Structures are given as C-alpha cells and as structure tokens.
Amino acid sequence: MTHARPDSLGVLDRFPMTHSDQTIARFLAAAFVAGPLVADEMATRGARMLGRRWRWLTRLALRVSEEFQHGPRPRRATVEEFLLGDSVFHKACERHELEIANYSITAQMCPVDAARNWPVPPLCTFADTADWLNVRSRELEWFADLRGLAARASHQKLRHYHYRTLSKRFGQVRLIEAPKLRLKEIQRQILREILDAIPAHNAAHGFCAGRSIKTFAAGHVATSVVLRMDLRDFFPSISRAQVEAVFRSVGYAESVANVLAGLCTNCAPDDIWDGVEVPVQQLRSVIARYARPHLPQGAPTSPALANLCAYRIDCRLAGLAESAGATYTRYADDLAFSGGDEFRRSAKRFSQHASAIVMDEGFDVNHRKTRIMQSGARQRLAGIVVNAHTNVPRKDYDRLKAILVNCLRSGPQSQNRDQHADFRAHLNGRVAYVELINPPRGKKLRELFRRIDW
C-alpha cells in the first residue's frame, strides 16, 4: 500500500504539530535513511535513536519502506515530510513523551538493486569523502561550494572555473566552463573511480567506452527513413538535484551525495555575460539558466553524468522506438531514430510523441534541428552520412584531401590558415576521423599525410 505525501499546508491542517513532533520527525527520518530501507533494520536504527524499541516503530518503518524502497535513497527532508503527515507517527507522539537518546547514527551504503555490484568506493560520511579525495574538510566545502559563493565572488582567484562564451546560430550562445587545475583533478578522480563504474543505457553512445560517434550512426545505415532530433542546452538543463539523485542511487548518504554533486556542478557568475551580443530578453533567459546549479560544459565529469541523468529518457525513448518498429540511439544531445516503411509512414507523428517524452523529462527539443530524412535524400547524423554505409560528406573529404595535397606541394605552413598551434596534430586528428568513419578513404588520406615533410 502506498501512502500519499500531503503538502505542508495539508499537514498543518490535519495535525497540530509541536516543535517536539518536528524534532522527533527530523531525527527519526535521519535514522531511517542512514541505511537500507528494510523495515526491521529501519526500526532498529530508529530504536537506537529514540533509546527504546517502541512497538509502533516497526509499523511506521514498514510504511516508510513501502513508500520509498523503489528508487534511490530518499532525502532526509522528504522522509521527514512523510512522517509529519503519517497518522502512526502522530499517535505515537501524542501517547508517549519521545526523546532523542542518540543524536548520531552512522550512515551506511544503500545502493539501488542494480547498483549493488558496482565497484565504487564506500564513502559513508563527509569525512570519508574528504579523506578519499585527499583534501581537508574545509577545502572540500570550498570546492563543493553548495552555497554558490564562488558565483558571487568578485575576484577571479576565488572562482573555480574559467569562462568562455561561444556564439551560435540564431542568436544563441554556449558557455564553456573549464574547471581550474585542482578541481579538475578532483573531478577526474570522481570520474575514474565512481562514474566509470556505472553503466550508461545501451542507447547512449557518446563518451562511453567501446562506443563512438560511428556506433551511434551505424545502427541507422540503409534504412527507409531517419528521424534526427536535438536537445536544446543539454548540459545546463541538468540540475544539481538530478546529479545528487545519481549519487544517492549508487548508495551514498545524502551528505556524501550532496558534496559529490557540488563538486560536479556549477553556478555561473552574472558578470561573465558582459559584452555578449544577444537580444536582451534571450540573454536574461540564458543568465537565469546558467545561474542555477547545473552540469558545466567543460568539466571532465559532465559527459558521464549527463548520460546517467538521461537514463530515464533513454529508457522511455527506446521503448517508444521499439513499439514503432524503430531503432533509437543517442550521442550527447543528438537523438536518432530509424526504421522501415512502417516507421516512415508514422515518423512525423512519432516525433511529436518523442518530443512529449523529452519535455516530460525536463529537457527541450530544438525543433529547428528536427529532420525526417528519406532514403532518396542524404541521411546525415552528427555529420556522418548513413544512406548506404557510414561515410563523411563528399565535400568534407575533398577539402581535406586538397589540403593534404597542397601540404605536399607547398609545405604545411601554406595551408595553416587558421594558425593552429600544432597543425600536424590538427591534420592527424582529421585524418583519423575519416579512418574511423570510412577506413578505405581514410587509408588514402593517411598515405598523403605520411608523405608530408614536416
């Protein structure tokens, strides 16, 4: 049986609460969420908190367990709210003079069922987290910045990120938030030892080991129709609360999940937008979006966390695609669907259903980039042509080949028109990309590259 959680006004109307009720609820909620949401274990922790194993504790623990056991470890405040609206709890407070006998209950790891075998470090307290990251507690508080003090700091040295704005089409702007060295090292440790141990959805191909932009596109080769959709402002749309939920799902207590999420999210200062040429109304919206705690585009942890926060949307879109006889893959903010003649006939209606799911999950679709591409025209995903096999566009291949030929004839410096600091590495990367997408063509370009006199 599931018990609805009344809002705060309903609680006040239904139960005349005293300060003692609220205090007991707060500490009892902390005891309940300190470990697994198993009724008997919760009652044991509650008894340790109250100094006695009251008979009603087991019934109350069972009601809390039924409400919250299917999902990540709940917040203490959420359980406290539930207790303040529960009849069993209020009858106990009325009948007994309850007191707090033990103000501290050591938290335990409490992962969701799917996470029980993930090899993540067992961090049970804030102090454990500081030791694991090899920083002092005060430093950890400063780096996590849960109060958003860095965004209000006037001096750049007190901020944890370097900022750079990039103009996009249609008056849009993208903010690159690059963490400073020490915070970047901390984020890399979180990525390497926690996030890399958590599997993303099978449909996610961006920033996943063993998957790439080619595997993202390969599932849509030689199909009757390809539907391409794009998520608007993917990284800044993901909130700190969503990131905290990921870490609580792993099994971390609220204090640990909060500080890990703080280390991986950021609030951008208002003054970084000075001089950005964007329409005033649009700029206000951008400033408000980035001022909220969000995933910073530029942090090493953000791609992995974005994939994990998008797990629900991947599940729902994959299910929708399967019901329509289609294939679904995602590469960061690029969504791709494809199928045969049956899917071709319903592609437009399907895109509307997919958009509704995206919005329901808290994201926005960039409708300007939505494309329904038939097999008779060029079908392109993330810059890769997928009509017959994965391929780079002809003009891109011809342009790169011309650059390599001119490097052979006139020397590489004659072709470095954009003044790349390491032009050889730049060209090597472009050739490697073609090798990945179309190995035969990439082999021809690689032969030209090897003959260049650097």
pLDDT score, position 154: 81
Each residue's pLDDT expressed in tens, for the chain with a length of 454 residues: 444 443 433 443 444 454 589 999 999 999 999 999 999 999 999 999 999 999 999 999 999 999 998 889 999 999 999 999 999 999 999 999 899 999 888 899 999 999 999 999 999 999 999 999 999 999 999 999 999 999 998 888 889 999 999 877 666 788 999 999 999 999 999 999 999 999 999 999 999 999 999 999 999 999 999 999 999 999 999 999 999 999 999 999 999 999 999 999 999 999 999 888 778 778 888 899 999 999 999 999 999 999 999 999 999 999 999 999 999 999 999 999 999 999 999 999 999 999 999 999 999 999 999 999 999 999 999 999 999 999 999 999 999 999 999 999 999 999 999 999 999 999 999 999 999 999 999 999 999 999 999 9
Gap between the Cα atoms of 34 and 75, Å rounded:
10
- CA 278/CA 282 separation, integer angstroms: 7
Residues 206 and 214: their CA atoms lie apart, in Å, by 10
Query: Which of 231, 222, 226 has the alpha carbon at shortest distance from 372?
Result: 226
Q: What is the pLDDT at residue 414?
A: 94
- pLDDT for 171 equals 62
Instruction: Give the span between the Cα atoms of 398 and 393, in whole angstroms.
Output: 9
**How many Cα neighbours within 13 Å face the side chain of 139?**
11
How high is the pLDDT of residue 128?
A: 96
Amino acid type, 362: G
13: Cβ contacts below 8 Å, ≥ 6 apart: none
Task: List residues bridging with 299 in a β-sheet.
Answer: 297
Count CB-CB contacts under 10 A for residue 107. 22
Q: What is the pLDDT of residues 79-101, one digit of tens each?
A: 999 999 999 999 999 999 899 99
What's the pLDDT score for residue 13?
43
The contacts of residue 194 (CB under 8 Å, 6+ apart) are 120, 121, 247, 250, 260
Evaluate whether 207 touches 304 at the Cβ level (below 8 Å).
yes
Instruction: Tell me the residue type at 368.
Output: R
Q: What are phi and psi of 226, to 5 degrees?
A: -125, 130
Q: Which residues pair with 178 in a beta bridge?
A: 162
pLDDT of 427-436, one tens digit each? 999 999 999 9
Count Cβ atoms below 10 Å from residue 301 Cβ, excluding itself. 25
pLDDT digits (tens, 9 = 90+) for 219-231: 999 999 999 999 9
Count of helix runs (H) and strand runs (E) in the chain? 20, 9
Cα–Cα distance between 384 and 217 in angstroms, integer? Answer: 7
Give me the pLDDT at residue 14, please. 45
β 334-339/326-331 pair status? antiparallel
